[in-house]
């Protein structure tokens, strides 16, 4: 099932909160815990489905292959996947004003205005 067809689970807010809590102090690890794995875990938490993706030269192009549609960043809602630049990294919207990203010592929170692209999840 593609991202376009996958709706959100009824308990997605609790599942997303549990993911964020579990990741709060989990440091970046290039192979085991990076921005892509965090974004994928958020999609699973919200939809119960692991999206398929294809390797591409950029994170944005790779995220586009999941089938989730792009939405304007100001319309991103909790659980949606976002991309922040400099350096490029995928994260997850926490609320109307903030997104979380994997950092060296755990999750980093940035204002949603730091994001350049958003994808609607479910």
4 vs 41, 47, 117, 119, CA distance in Å? 17, 11, 17, 11
What pLDDT sits at residue 6? 57
Classify domain 12-119 by CATH architecture: Alpha-Beta Complex (3.90)
Determine the pLDDT at residue 116: 97
Q: pLDDT tens digits, residue range 86-122?
A: 899 999 999 989 999 999 999 999 999 999 999 999 9
For residue 87, say if its preceding peptide bond is cis, omega within 30 degrees of 0. yes
β partners of residue 101: 108
Place of tokens 């089938």: 67
Cross-sheet strand order for the sheet of 81-84: 70-71, 115-119, 81-84, 89-93, 98-103, 106-111
Contact 34, 28 (CB under 8 A): yes
Q: Where in the chain are the domains?
A: 12-119
Residue 33 has pLDDT above 70, yes or no: yes
């Amino acid at each position: 099932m593609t991202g376009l067809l996958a709706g959100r689970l009824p308990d997605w807010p609790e599942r997303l909160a549990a993911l964020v809590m579990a990741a709060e102090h989990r440091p970046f690890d290039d192979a085991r815990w990076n921005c892509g794995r965090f974004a994928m875990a958020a999609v699973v938490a919200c939809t119960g489905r692991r999206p398929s993706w294809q390797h591409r030269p950029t994170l944005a192009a790779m995220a586009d292959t999941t089938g989730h549609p792009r939405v304007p960043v100001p319309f991103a809602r909790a659980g949606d996947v976002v991309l922040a630049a400099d350096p490029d990294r995928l994260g997850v919207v926490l609320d109307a004003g903030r997104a979380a990203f994997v950092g060296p010592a755990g999750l980093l929170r940035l204002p949603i205005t730091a994001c350049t692209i958003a994808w609607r999840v479910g």
